[in-house]
Every structure is written in structure tokens, then in C-alpha cells.
């Protein structure tokens, strides 16, 4: 195997062994603390434009299967691991991790001191980097902020038939698990592009709206805030991750970038109405600024136990709710799966088709 390097804009260089396929992509270097679920993580469209570092030292030991991808393509710009298992052991495994990266055209680097790398990221906060065959770059790392949502969203509406309420899923880079959760609850789902207008959505006659997760800075979607506001004021709405941020922004709040984000499967979140703490799966770099929330319209429903950031909102009079975490993800516990049931009951009480899970 060939020697490779992760070169950071801050000057640090990390050496390792190249895997996957070099693509000369410059990306934000981030880290995820999950111990399992690497297949779901690397296929999450929210990682578009990012070079992902796995904190857990051994990746690939149970291989990859044909069922658990979260999207049809791998959007991540690169992957960094400490140790890579090339001989996985699992009855569903159809390929190993490096083969997946090769087929997806994504570069990887293994044998890296990921503990030292995470310390650098935590020190510098937002850090761009590039995986290369040489330990230095001829040019700099100036890169335009691409509109990643457009790259991962569907181009045309796609409908999944079912007998329950009709939910329009606005696709900013949705995870397959969100669609699966809705279909499991007997919903008929229409996935639409991120730029669908209020009038286009109205023509679909939805019973409810779900704003999905997705990559990048939510302010990139500022031209669509007015349409999002009209949509959320007209239909029962649930926002997840980026969708949560977009609901807040459309109703006048602000967002800010975290120092190094929340990415992992064990983030504790407290529901303020009950005091109950749930363990959640998260993947985001931006949060809603609490001081910017209009409390005559919204109440904070969830809060992060570690850093006290806003993890969920609920409108005081309209059937609008949003969560920063992923209720469809089961990083072990399935504590927050009930949020989908609450959303669907709101759909029914607002006049949608009767919720009837068989």
C-alpha cells in the first residue's frame, strides 16, 4: 500500500497509508465519536464537503452490507482512521471498508494517530485539509464554500406509496432512515427537491411536511426562508437537524457555527417539559442561537446536557416542532423514536388522514 498524508491548512501533517481513491478534494476536517455504524456515517449526505475522522480506533471489523447505506451515493470528501480491518467478519458483509471507498471514489488514510488529530481539530476548531501523496501542497487551501445541499438533493419528486397520511419530505440531503421511519408508520411519502416552492408543495396536497437533515451552512438557503415560513405555517411540520435550523431561521432566529460540532452516537439531550434525558445520534456543525429565538412564537423543547445548546423547538400555537438530533437513528437506544408518532398525531389532529399503523 502507498504512503499518504493528511495536510491541514494550519500546517500540521499526519502520515498514514492510502486507501480508497484520491480525488484532490479539500474539505473541512471533522471527527465522529461513534463506536459503531461506520457504514451509515460515511453514507450520510450531511458529511458532504467534509473529511471525516473516526475517533474509535478500529473501523471495518464487521464489513459493509447491501442494506444499511443512508444514501444512494457517498458524499463525504475523505475518511481518516486509526486502524482498518481488511478481513471483516459478519454474515451480512459483502465488501470491506476500503473497497467501498474505492468504488465510491473517496480517498482515505489509515494508520493515522487519530487522537493527536482530534486534539488539533479541537484546538483550531474549523480546519480545512486534504489527503495527498506528498507531505506538502504547492498551492494554498483557499476553496469556495460550495452549495452542498444542491449536490445531494433529489432533482425530481419521488413518491413512495402507502395507505396512511401523505408526508412531503423536503430533501436537503435526507438519510434513508428518515424515509424508512415514515414508511414504517404507514405514511405515503413524496420526496421533493430542496427548492420546491410553497405553491408546488400545496399542489401535492400533503397532510404534513418534514424538513430533512443536510450538509453545510444553513444560511446558504436564505433565499428560501420565506417559502419555508409559508410552508410551516400551513402544514404540520417536523424539522430534523438542518431542517430544525431552517425552521428557526425562517421564523427570525439566527444560527452560529460550533467550535467542532456534535458528531457521534451518545449525545445526552434533556426534554425540558419532562426532565427526561435521552441518548441521541447527532451530526451537525451549526446550532440555533438561543438569544435570537422569539419566545412569543417558540419554546425550547430540548437542550444539550453537555453544552446547553438548543436541541429542539416547538411553536406555541402552530403544529411545528423541530429537533437538532436524529430521532430515526438508533445508536443503541431508540429513546427519541416517539417524536415521529407525535408528529403524525399532529398531522391527524390537523385534518390529515387517520394514523393507523398495522
Report DSSP letters for 5-45, one per residue.
EEEETTS-EEEEEEEE-----EEEEEEE--SS-HHHHHT-G
Q: What is the pLDDT of residue 335?
A: 76
Each of the 358 residues of the chain gets a pLDDT tens digit; together they read 799 999 999 999 999 999 999 988 899 999 999 999 999 999 999 999 999 999 999 999 999 999 999 998 888 999 999 999 999 999 999 999 999 999 999 999 999 999 999 999 999 998 999 999 998 877 677 655 689 999 999 999 999 999 999 999 999 999 999 999 999 999 999 999 999 999 999 999 999 999 999 999 999 999 999 999 999 999 999 999 999 999 999 999 999 999 999 999 999 999 999 999 999 999 999 999 999 999 999 999 999 999 999 999 999 999 999 999 999 876 666 778 889 889 998 998 887 655 444 3
Judge whether 85 counts as a catalytic residue.
no
Annotated binding site for L-glutamine: 46, 214, 216, 242, 245, 283, 285-286
What is the rounded CA–CA span in Å between residue 226 and residue 233?
Answer: 11
- Where are the domain boundaries for CATH 3.50.30.20 in the chain? 3-132
Active-site residue (options: 241, 244, 251, 284): 241
CATH topology of domain 148-349: Rossmann fold (3.40.50)
Computed over its alpha carbons, how large is the radius of gyration of the chain?
20
The pLDDT score that the predictor gives to residue 143 is 59
CATH 3.40.50.880: which residues of the chain?
Answer: 148-349
328 is catalytic: yes
Rounded to whole angstroms, the Cα distance separating 257 from 4 reads 30
In the chain, count of helices (H) and strands (E)? Answer: 9, 19
Q: Which CATH number fits domain 3-132: 3.40.50.1000, 3.50.30.20, 3.40.630.30, 3.40.1130.10?
A: 3.50.30.20
What is the C-alpha separation between 271 and 311, in angstroms, rounded?
A: 9
Cβ within 8 Å of residue 44, ≥6 positions away = 70, 71, 75, 76, 175, 213, 283
Q: Give catalytic status of residue 55 as yes or no.
A: no
CA distances from 274 to 254, 300, 303 (A): 26, 13, 12
Q: Has this prediction a pTM greater than 0.85?
A: yes
Amino acid at each position: 500500500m502507498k504512503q499518504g498524508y493528511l495536510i491541514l491548512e494550519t500546517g500540521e501533517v499526519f502520515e498514514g497509508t492510502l486507501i480508497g481513491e484520491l480525488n484532490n478534494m479539500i474539505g473541512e476536517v471533522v471527527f465522529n465519536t461513534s463506536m459503531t455504524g461506520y457504514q451509515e456515517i460515511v453514507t450520510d449526505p450531511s458529511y458532504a464537503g467534509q473529511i471525516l475522522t473516526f475517533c474509535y480506533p478500529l473501523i471495518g471489523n464487521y464489513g459493509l452490507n447491501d442494506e444499511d447505506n443512508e444514501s444512494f451515493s457517498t458524499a463525504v470528501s475523505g475518511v481518516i482512521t486509526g486502524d482498518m480491518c481488511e478481513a471483516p467478519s459478519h454474515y451480512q458483509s459483502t465488501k470491506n471498508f476500503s473497497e467501498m471507498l474505492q468504488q465510491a471514489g473517496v480517498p482515505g488514510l489509515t494508520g493515522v494517530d487519530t487522537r493527536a488529530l482530534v486534539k488539533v481539530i479541537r484546538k483550531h476548531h474549523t480546519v480545512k485539509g486534504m489527503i495527498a501523496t506528498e507531505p506538502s501542497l504547492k498551492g494554498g487551501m483557499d476553496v469556495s464554500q460550495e452549495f452542498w445541499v444542491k449536490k445531494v438533493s433529489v432533482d425530481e419528486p419521488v413518491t413512495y406509496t402507502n395507505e396512511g397520511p401523505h408526508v412531503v419530505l423536503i430533501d436537503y440531503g435526507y438519510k434513508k432512515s428518515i424515509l424508512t421511519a415514515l414508511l414504517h408508520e404507514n405514511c405515503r411519502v413524496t420526496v421533493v427537491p430542496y427548492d420546491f416552492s410553497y405553491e408546488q408543495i400545496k399542489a401535492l396536497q400533503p397532510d404534513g411536511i418534514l424538513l430533512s437533515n443536510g450538509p453545510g451552512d444553513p444560511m446558504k438557503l436564505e433565499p428560501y426562508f420565506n417559502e419555508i415560513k409559508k410552508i410551516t405555517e400551513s402544514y404540520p411540520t417536523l424539522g430534523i437537524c438542518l431542517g430544525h435550523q431552517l425552521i428557526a431561521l425562517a421564523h427570525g432566529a439566527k444560527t452560529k457555527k460550533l467550535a467542532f460540532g456534535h458528531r457521534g452516537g451518545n449525545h445526552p439531550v434533556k426534554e425540558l417539559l419532562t426532565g427526561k434525558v435521552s441518548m441521541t445520534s447527532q451530526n451537525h456543525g451549526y446550532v440555533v442561537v438561543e438569544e435570537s429565538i422569539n419566545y412569543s412564537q417558540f419554546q425550547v423543547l430540548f437542550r444539550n446536557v453537555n453544552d446547553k445548546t438548543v436541541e429542539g423547538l416547538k411553536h406555541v400555537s402552530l403544529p411545528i416542532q423541530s429537533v437538532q438530533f436524529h430521532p430515526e437513528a438508533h445508536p443503541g437506544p431508540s429513546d427519541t423514536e416517539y417524536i415521529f408518532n407525535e408528529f403524525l398525531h399532529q398531522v391527524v389532529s390537523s385534518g390529515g388522514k387517520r394514523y393507523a399503523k398495522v
